[in-house]
Amino acid sequence: MTALPRTAALTDRERITRAVWLAGLGLLLLVLPKLIYPVLALDILAWGLFAVAFDLLFGFSGLLSFGHAAFWGSSAYVTASLLSNGQSVPVALLGGTLTALLLAVPVAYLSVRSAGIYFSMITLAFAQMISFLALQWTDLTGGENGLQGFERPSFWGLDFSDSTTRYYVCLVLFAVGFAVAWRTVRSPFGRAQQAVRDNEPRAQSIGYDPQRFKLTAFLISATLAGLAGSMYTFGHGVVSLEVVNWRTSGEVVMMTLLGGTTTLFGPVIGAGLVLILRDILTTANLPVGIVTGVVFVLVVLFFRRGVVGTVQHWTRRK
C-alpha cells in the first residue's frame, strides 16, 4: 500500500483537528446554558463573535484596530432604539448590523491607507468620536443614562422574555457569523488576504490590490462586530456608554490574544475565559482588573500563541 506524501498526511491531520475543535465548540455552546446561567452564556456568544470579528482583521489581515467598539456600540444603540420604537427583534438586529456596516465604510476607506500604529490611531480617533456623539446625542442614546426598559416582542411564537430562549436565538446568529468568518479565511479571498498580510510588496507584484483586500476585510469584520453588538443588546435589554468606551476595544484585543489569533476558535475561548473569570472574581469580591491583568501577562509569557494556538502547536509537533 502506497504511503501518503507527508504534506498530504499533515493536511489530513489539520482537517481532523479542525473538525474536532469545531465539534467540541459546537457541543459546548449547545449545553452552555446548563453549565452557567444563560445571561453569562449569551455574553460569551456576543463577545466571542466580537473577538472573531476582530481576529478577522488583526490575525488574518495584520491590522490592529483600537476602534472596534465603535461598530459594536453603534449597532447596540441602533438595536435598542429600534426596539424602543416598537420594531420587531429581527428588524432591530438587522438594523443594528447594517448601521455598523455603513459606519465602517468611511472609517475603512480612510484608515486602510495607513499602516502600523498610524492605522491603530486613526481607528481609535473614530471610536472616540462615536463615544462623544453617544454622550451628547441624548435624544437617541439617552446620554449617561443609556437606553433601558425596552420590550423584545415575541416573534414566531418565541418568548424573548425567557433568557434561555434568547440564548439559543443568539446561538443561531453566532453560528451564522462564525460560518461567514470561517468561509472568508478559507476562501481564495482569505488566502490572498493572508498573502497581503505576510508580504504586501510581493502580493502587489503578482497582481493583488492590497487596499482592496484590506478594505473588504475591514467591512466584513465591522459587520460581524455589529451583529455581535446587536446580540449583546438583545440579550441584556439595556445599553449604556460602556459599549462605545475605548476599554471595550481593549477588552476584545485581550480576549483575542488570550485565546489565540488566526485560529477563529481561540477568540471564542478567550472571551469565555475572560468573562467567566470576571464573574468568579466579582462574586468573590476580588480585584477584577489586577487578577485579569496578571493572567493575561502569564499567558503572553508562557503561551505566546494563545491558549488554543499553543494547544494546536503542540498537537502538530506530536
pLDDT of residue 174 exceeding 50, the answer is: yes
Looking at residues 1-11, what average pLDDT do you find?
Answer: 40
pLDDT of residue 182 exceeding 50, the answer is: yes
**Contact between residue 69 and residue 249 where contact means Cβ atoms under 8 Å apart:** yes
For the four alpha carbons of 67, 246, 263 and 235, in that order, the dihedral sign comes to negative
Looking at residues 147-167, what average pLDDT do you find?
Answer: 81
Looking at residues 68-75, what average pLDDT do you find?
Answer: 95
With helix as H, strand as E and coil as C, how does 130-198 read?
HHHHHHHCHHHHCHHHCEECCCCCCECCECCCCHHHHHHHHHHHHHHHHHHHHHHHCCHHHHHHHHHHH
Please write the tens of the pLDDT for every residue from 266-279.
899 999 999 998 88
Cα 148 from Cα 303, distance rounded (Å): 40
C-alpha cell at 189: 479571498
Instruction: Note the pLDDT of residue 184.
Output: 93
Cα 104 from Cα 71, distance rounded (Å): 7
Q: How far is CA 278 from the centre of its chain?
A: 18
Average pLDDT, the chain: 87
Cα 256 from Cα 210, distance rounded (Å): 24
Give the Å distances, CA to CA, from 86 to 18, 82, 136, 218, 262.
42, 7, 24, 32, 40
Q: How does 220-237 read in b/e, with b if 16+ C-beta sit within 10 Å?
A: bbbbbbbbbbbbbbbbbb
pLDDT of residue 48 exceeding 70, the answer is: yes
Looking at residues 165-170, what average pLDDT do you find?
Answer: 91
SS3 state at 239:
strand
Q: How far is CA 299 from the centre of its chain?
A: 20
Quick one: which of 196, 231, 309, 260 has its CA closest to 55?
Answer: 260
Contacts of 118 (CB under 8 A, 6+ apart): none
**Type and span of the H or E element at 303:** none
pLDDT of residue 204 exceeding 80, the answer is: yes
Cα 196 from Cα 214, distance rounded (Å): 9
Instruction: Note the pLDDT of residue 284.
Output: 79
Instruction: Note the pLDDT of residue 318.
Output: 65
pLDDT confidence tier of residue 8, bands split at 50, 70 and 90: very low
Q: Which of 84-93, 101-110, 145-154 has the highest mean pLDDT?
A: 101-110
pLDDT of residue 139 exceeding 50, the answer is: yes
C-alpha cell at 32: 452552555
**Contact between residue 255 and residue 69 where contact means Cβ atoms under 8 Å apart:** no
Instruction: Note the pLDDT of residue 237.
Output: 85
pLDDT of residue 11 exceeding 70, the answer is: no
Helices of type H across 3-88? 6-35, 38-61, 69-84
